[in-house]
Structure 1
Amino acid sequence: MPFQVALNFEDGVTRFIECRPHETVAEAAYKARINIPLDCRDGACGTCKSLCESGSYDAGDYIDEALTEEEAGRGYCLPCQMTPHSDLVLGIPSSSAAAKTAAVRHTAALTSLRRLSATTAEFTLDVDDRAGLDFLPGQYVNIAVPGTDRTRSYSFSSGPDRRQVSFLVRIVEGGAMSTYLGERARVGDRIEFTGPIGGFYLREPARPVLLLAGGTGLAPLLSMLERMAQRPSAHPVHLIYGVTTDQDLVHLDTLEDYLRTLPGFTFDHCVADPSSTARNKGFVTGLMDAGTLHGGGADVYLCGPPPMVEAVRHRIAALGVAPAGFHYEKFTPAATDASLATAEAA
């Protein structure tokens, strides 16, 4: 049975290929017409050196000049030599254009639209070629807003294994997507999008996980939680979810469900508005301490607006506890609409 290999390029584009157990990743990529950097094919030059972020494999034969022992210990590998033992996620040190590939364009039908609160909507798409759409939990797509020449970026709020895919949208007055969803959207509408894109995605849990969400930055973390519930690990998962006002809170019932279905899961939420009825008033940073970071032994996934992201980074620095892994994505405004920017991962 072939394994799935995700190739993440430097420009954020992700392409998926199938690789048989005794086939090298480079061979499988070339069969899929994806030209990852390659010179020798013999493990001698190091041109194809990449970082394996998830999965297990046989590293194959190579010389030290191509891949040092220290690099191999950090997860670097040579696709021209490696053969998979499981599904893999590889960071490829080139752009998708250099590899003569690109993000895939998909078409879909709008199947549902619901207002979760006064400030947040959720819509679901039935993708025409669902089997041709693979993504990693946390990634996003660029969606063409029907009836306009605008494109907006939204993270999947659903997991990769669902037949239909869902997205959360912050409702902004005058926003391109907000106006479409509020005034013109009808079930059955045809929608085009391109992706998946982004370096913000769930790695195979190898230690405790801390998830930090601001507003509709909850979307990619919901996708991650869905995958973790399907593939539970022995490591605890804690989510801190912060919003501005009570009406911004959504999917609390979903998070409550994960308390029962995801072993080791806990969550807190907070509201910045002093008049809130929430138990925790303030910001996400107020619920963070060295304990939530497991003394530096946690992987952190952070998604929210730039001020929140910067506040969390400063809070971590002030605590003097560097997390084992730190992955984040910032919201940035597009015109008057709120959307997710290309992943900026650390």
Structure 2
Amino acid sequence: MGLFSSKSKSYEVTIQSTGERIEVDNKTTILQAALDKGIAYPHRCRVGSCTSCKTKLVEGKIKELTDTAYVLSMEDIQDGAILACQSIPKCDLTIDVTLGEAPAEEFEGTISRVDQLTHDILGVTVALDRSIYYTAGQYADVAFEGLDRPRNYSFAARALPQGNREIRFHIRKVPGGAFTEWLFAEDRVGAKLQVGGPFGQFQMHSNEKPMLFIAGGSGLAPILSILESAGASDLNRDAIFLFGARTQADLYGQAEVHNATRKWKGDFQFLPVLSHEPQDSDWKGERGLVTDHIASIANIGQHEAYLCGPPGMIDAAVDHLKESGIADDAIFFDRFTDSSHLLATAK
């Protein structure tokens, strides 16, 4: 039976270092069950790419949603390492992992504004019951009552020193996705949401290297948050931003990027790149894939790279960046996945 079969069975997962026990059913990952219980389980991307949730499987067997051999070393695998975000128990388990100090907070939210950014991306502003403190680049769990599981969306606005009572997300419609089908069905201003967070370790690092930002589609959200926060600081670093979209109809956020960087103290270049724009259109900007333009950047190997977008774009960009001489430890990324990806990997 597949992951989404009707028959459900639960198993007990014991964290060796603390003795804490988690009940996990055969449709839920170890990570999700731990977070649902309020355990401060280390994690970042939730899609099996960052290895932040690397865990030692001491005893028992698991089902992997995706093959993790390409991100775990042979030494890790021989030592029993698994990724909790991609692992579903097949029996009772014992695991070993170093937990964080405190779980994220839960907030009550109300949708206060919805903006149509493109034909399939909404800008959603949520008023919270109290301030949330996050770092630009992080994300939150978002759900409405009755949703099977929360969805993850990156904060799309500047992180304020005094905390944010209002937060904003860029949400792309996913055909068949329970959350986005609900959101796009009618005007949801006034609707109640549950918000958890902040989560993630994707954020700008402090040094003097020039920066290269690469984003695709709604991957603009965390980059925009970083740009707004950095632009309001004393940061003095050169930066290039390659933003990929299919056509002019899919291109958005240009005014927000320009506003965020109008006081940028270093040199800042913003290059939108369209991959499927008709050849006879009035578009005068860059064409092709964003990855096609990496090699043309001067002194690319000296840059620090920040990437946000769908897995295919991220994988291709990382390969190009490494080939261009950027070191592994100077490449930071978040892969954006959705329910269609989860369904595909569960089959």
Task: Answer yes or no: same fold by TM over 0.5.
Answer: yes
Q: In the alignment, does 2:217 pair up with 1:218?
A: no
Q: Check 1:321–1:336 CA distance in 2 against 1; reply closer, same or farther (3 A cut).
A: closer
Shift of 1:324: 6.1
Equivalent AA in structure 2 for residue 221 of structure 1: I
Look up the match of 1:118: 119
Offset from partner CA, 1:257-298 (integer Å, 9 cap, x none): 345222322210111104164321111111112635x34222
Question: Counterparts of 1:239 and 1:114 in 2: how far apart (Å)?
Answer: 24
Q: In the alignment, does 2:288 pair up with 1:287?
A: no
TM-score normalised by structure 1 residue count: 0.65
Question: Counterparts of 1:255 and 1:205 in 2: how far apart (Å)?
Answer: 22
Equivalent AA in structure 2 for residue 198 of structure 1: G
Look up the match of 2:36: none
Shift of 1:243: 1.3
CA contact (8 A) 2:202 2:332 kept: yes
RMSD, matched Cα = 2.5
Shift of 1:159: 1.2
DSSP 3-state at the match of 1:234: coil
Question: Counterparts of 2:297 and 2:177 in 1: how far apart (Å)?
Answer: 40
Question: Counterparts of 1:298 and 1:334 in 2: how far apart (Å)?
Answer: 33
Equivalent AA in structure 1 for residue 252 of structure 2: V
Shift of 1:218: 0.6
Shift of 1:178: 2.0
The runs of at least 4 consecutive aligned structure 1 residues that moved more than 6 Å come to none
Look up the match of 1:134: 133
Look up the match of 1:143: 142
One of 327, 331, 338 as aligned partner of 2:332: 327
Q: Check 1:295–1:145 CA distance in 2 against 1; reply closer, same or farther (3 A cut).
A: same
CA contact (8 A) 1:211 1:221 kept: yes
DSSP 3-state at the match of 1:261: coil
Q: In the alignment, does 2:272 pair up with 1:269?
A: yes
Question: Counterparts of 1:152 and 1:337 in 2: how far apart (Å)?
Answer: 12
CA contact (8 A) 1:112 1:125 kept: yes
Q: Check 1:250–1:290 CA distance in 2 against 1; reply closer, same or farther (3 A cut).
A: closer
Unmatched 5+ stretches in structure 1 = 1-7, 14-92, 339-346
CA contact (8 A) 1:205 1:233 kept: no
Look up the match of 1:10: 42
Question: Counterparts of 1:179 and 1:173 in 2: how far apart (Å)?
Answer: 7
Shift of 1:191: 0.9
CA contact (8 A) 1:258 1:265 kept: no
Look up the match of 1:69: none
What is the identity percentage for the equivalent residue pairs of Structure 1 and Structure 2? 27
Look up the match of 1:309: 314
Question: Counterparts of 2:213 and 2:147 in 1: how far apart (Å)?
Answer: 35
Equivalent AA in structure 2 for residue 156 of structure 1: F
Unmatched 5+ stretches in structure 2 = 1-39, 46-96
